[in-house]
Structure 1
Amino acid sequence: MSTTMPATTIIGRDAEKKILKEMLDSREAELIAILGRRRVGKTFLVRGYYEQQLVFECTGLHEAGLADQLLNFSKALQQAMQSVIPPATPDTWIQAFSFLSNFLQTKIKTQPVVVLFDEFPWMHTPRSGFLTAFGHWWNTWASRQPQLKVVICGSAASWMIENVLHNRGGLHNRVSRTIRLLPFSLEESETYLLSRGIRLDRYQVLQLYMAMGGIPQYLKQVNKGESANQVIDKLFFKKDGMLKTEFNVLYRSLFNNASHHESIVRQLAKKAGGMSRTEVIAACGFTTGGTTTRLFEELEQSGFITQYIPFEKAARDAIYKLSDEYSLFYLKFVDRARAMGAGTWHKIAAGSSYNSWSGYAFEAICQKHVPQIKKALGISGVYTEASGWRYTPKPGETGTQIDLLLDRQDHCINLCEMKFSDKAFVIDKKYASELDRKVAVFQERTRTRKTIFPTMITTYGTKQNIYYTGRIISEVTMEALFA
């Protein structure tokens, strides 16, 4: 069976759209779970793709009690019924789903229909019986309606995984497909801005991405005729700037006891090279155990931190890094800042703190765009493991850190140096000897027999000089990250 495509233009999301189409075309009931952080575009994707089929939508209320959630459900049902007279407010979730079945009965005939429960975790208030009632409704009625496609969305990724995907009760193994909606890539961010009539050169798109990541709702705040610096100044430093206040609600809307999650994020923001789990726990004053493990898992599932296993090391040696661009920028420049108000960013961007931040932010973006880097190097078809490596020296020794290694199955390793600059990067005598030392320490300490290819990843390329020739084997520019 073929279905009509939506009228709404959805930028990127090709893999997700393919899944949504398969669900629509299937001949049985489907339960789809969509996970993704706040403002990443989960609702927009569902509403846009299922524009013609969406017959009922209910969004949970944050920190509201059972009575308010049921009243909210009743209003959603009234809107779906297009009725002037509101239906009776259900007394329980069992009754609410019974009302929904009665309504859907009139809609499920020959064409597929879609039901959306947005911010699903918020509906499950203490002792409300919501999850049990939903599982019962799905098992006894909804799963028997071949035309019915139920989508449940949640920003609290960890809650969705624990209570829905790993449910041991009525929802055990009931979810047909799971979509984890990630922020836009650089290419998707550029396409999104172009779709809104905003034309910026790639250096400016990169600057925006370094400050706010590929979050569609953040990028939506960019207006025509504004430079990247003007946008950052407006959103982060002006009195009512959207991203000046976002941090205070971001973690609290996703996690219970969000102060613990914030503590981890704040510690990682201080260490560009990342920290081991033990180092983070010590810095936060936590104890080891299941509760702390869950904090790391929740932040990782929600896309705020990323775990990197160093070259030739085991999972227990993992290094955690703060991989959310917005949080990094906010904690570096906005949190507890004395200077605020229009023009603040223009001053900061001319200082040394900008240089250290931009270098780290660019490295983090490169680590997220490894497939694009591999493509530029012509090794897309070669099995590769991306990792980092650091050597902590003993007294009298020299330590070093490599943020990105591409360990290839064809017996070669690209040792990547990432440099952010507003012009072509110049390798001088000092940097050349530092690079030689990195390669030497890496070869000596790992005893690798693989061929090392020193590789530069820069914004505008690397100037060819006596320190470049014979030392740098490959290079990748900013343009390739947009591929």
Structure 2
Amino acid sequence: MIGRTKEQEELNRIYERKQTDLVVIYGRRRVGKTYLVNNTFKGRYAFHHTGLSPVNESGKAVTLKDQLESFYLSLQMYGMKKGARPTSWLEAFFMLKKLLTEKDDGSKQVVFIDELPWMDTKKSRFITAFEEFYNGWCNERGNVMLIVCGSANSWIQNKLINNKGGLYNRITHKIKLLPFTLKECEEYFLSQNIQFSRYDITQSYMVFGGVPYYLGYMDGRLSLAQNIDRILFDENPMLKGEYENLFTSAFDKPTKTKEIVEFLFGRNLGYTRSEISEKFSDISGSELNKILSALEESDFLIKYIPFSDGKREEKYRLSDPYCLTYLYFIKGQKKKESFWQYNVNSSTLNTWRGLAFENVCYRHYPQIKKALEINGVEANMSMWIKEKNDDSEGTQIDLLIDRADNVVNLCELKFYSGEFSVDSSYEEKMRTRDRLIMEKISRKKVVRNTLVTTYGLKKNAYSGIFTNVITMEALFDC
């Protein structure tokens, strides 16, 4: 298994504990939550069940009866004798208690319930039964490791992690599974005998992010451009319907959540909560908080405070690479087979690469800190934009690192096919920007211009404007 070393170590450590534990694993859809648990506990389950998708193959909502029937069949798979089918979740979990009691030999019993949120159909009283199963039975046993996960992060957050009822403070461990880093993507491709340069791996990350499920569609016989067309732009693309499924399967209010995502797409630097609230005035404040929290926990957006903003109001910026790619190139566009191959060197893709590389850098902020040798320094990541007015030109800082050791790194993020070159006009633009930012920071701080780019900086009369240069190689550091 690629990556996930820390997560596996944590799960095995919990397994060895001589007590009952409730483990919640959450993260973005398709990130590999089920794969992690199955590869860690394969052959060690006392019981394993996966909830049915909320919508069946006919497009109809799955009922409580359907979910109970599926649960009953899983009980039989793990040794329960045939009998009357459960008619409620209280009865279904009672059957699970009996099964586990019969199988109990004193060793740790691993119970894995996948896609738990899907089992909570309307008026099913599922949470009541689940609470009673864990609080009233598992805790008394002292040897149960109950692992739950699911794609519906909003449900996980609201019903489990932030539960104020019977499950309050009952979760003993939370594991958020993140998408792969660039280095893990490289390791995955090598494990599949797929030969891509780091330049192309970075571009694949711009399109798909580090989502293992999406990377699994890559064909080593094809170039990256051919793979992107096959997965996204063919007549019948491999990820057909995935964008809609991201919302219907993972969020309590899929339509409104999707509308918020598409609103955030409209501005690269993002929007404040008040701006989002004004746009979606039909959503209550508490509901908006839940949606934004679920999007953040699903790694769809990042939250930051704009530098030197007197209001200190957080902004929300769309950051999921797949969503950004879909909204940039596919939504509302006519079908364009072989689109990526035809446009691989076009201005359209070059402009997009510049924006998408910024997102790669934000997602590899720890690697940038490591390259600057400031891992142990408290620092805040931010962005800054100064609008153009009658007195001055507008300017923007892609990534600003405000450090506790009295240094502010102003990072230029540039995706180039070769070395980046600075000319006199660019140098003057940066010096003007430096003066503007110096007006906003404490006199005890110094500014260091930092270049984050693919292949480094071309030395010339103006290249000294950059104090630090970080190449693409550093982003592949663990």
Alignment TM class, shorter chain as reference: over 0.9
Whole-angstrom distance in 2 between the partners of 1:397 and 1:282: 30
2:401 equivalent in structure 1: 406
Find the aligned partners of 1:372 and 1:168 in 2 and give their Cα distance: 37
Q: Which residue of 1 aligns with 2:327?
A: 331
Specify the alignment match of 1:43 in structure 2.
34
Q: CA deviation at 1:183?
A: 0.7
How far apart, in 2, do the equivalents of 1:314 and 1:155 lie?
Answer: 38
Correspondence 1:361 to 2:356: yes
**Distance in 2, Cα, partners of 1:312 & 1:54:** 53
Of the three residues 437, 443, 450, the one matched with 1:455 is: 450
CA distance in structure 2 between the aligned counterparts of 1:198 and 1:173, rounded to whole angstroms? 45
Contact 2:23 2:146 in 1 (8 A): yes
* Matched pairs, number: 470
Hey, what does 1:125 align to over in structure 2?
Answer: 121
Counterpart for residue 412 of structure 2: 417
Distance in 1 (CA, whole Å) between partners of 2:388 and 2:441 is 14
* Contact 1:267/1:284, CA 8 A, preserved across alignment: no
Q: 1:66 aligns to what?
A: 64
Q: Which residue does the alignment assign to 1:6?
A: none
Partner of 2:469: 475
Q: How has the CA–CA distance of structure 1 residues 286 and 430 changed in structure 2, closer, same or farther, with 3 Å as cutoff?
A: farther
- TM-score, length basis structure 2: 0.94
3-state SS of paired residue (1:224): coil
Distance 2:323 2:311 in 1: 25
Name the counterpart of 2:59. none
Contact 1:156–1:302 under 8 Å retained in 2: no
Structure 2 CA distance for aligned equivalents of residues 172 and 345 of structure 1: 49
Relative to structure 1, is the Cα distance of residues 325 and 314 closer, same or farther in structure 2, using a 3 angstrom cutoff? farther
Instruction: State how far apart, in whole Å, the 1-side matches of 2:193 and 2:396 are.
Output: 42
SS of residue matched to 2:146: strand
Contact map agreement 1:286 1:292 (CA 8 A) in 2: no
In structure 2, the residue corresponding to 1:407 is in which secondary structure? strand
Question: For residue 29 of structure 1, what is the aligned residue in structure 2?
Answer: 20
Could you say which residue in structure 2 is the equivalent of 1:236?
232
TM-superposed CA distance for 1:448, in Å, is 4.8
Report whether the alignment pairs 1:269 with 2:260.
no
- Any stretches of 5+ residues in structure 2 without a counterpart? 55-61
1:118-177 deviation per Cα after TM superposition (whole angstroms, max 9, x unaligned):
111111111111110111111221112222111010222221121112222221211110
Query: What is the identity, as a one-letter code, of the residue corresponding to 1:42?
Result: K
Give the corresponding residue for 1:175. Answer: 171
**Selected match of 1:466 from 450, 461, 467:** 461
1:381 to 2:376 alignment: yes
Does residue 251 (structure 1) correspond to residue 247 (structure 2)? The answer is: yes
Matches within 5 A, 1:105-124: 105-124=101-120
Q: Given that residues 78 and 87 in structure 1 are in contact (C-alpha distance below 8 angstroms), is that contact kept between their aligned partners in structure 2?
A: no
* Aligned with 2:160 (options 164, 168, 180): 164
Give the corresponding residue for 1:56: 47
Unaligned runs of 5+ in 1: 1-9
Q: CA contact under 8 A between 1:400 and 1:441: conserved in structure 2? A: no
CA distance in 1, matches of 2:113, 2:16: 20
Shift of 1:397: 3.2
Instruction: Describe the shift of the 1:142–1:277 C-alpha distance in structure 2 as closer, same or farther (beyond 3 A).
Output: same
| Counterpart residue number, 1:295 | 291
Instruction: Give the residue type in structure 2 aligned to 1:407.
Output: D
Instruction: Tell me if structure 1 keeps the 8 A contact 2:157–2:294.
Output: no
Of all paired residues, the percent bearing the same amino acid is 38
Q: 1:437 aligns with which of 432, 441, 447?
A: 432
Structure 1 equivalent of residue 78 of structure 2: 80
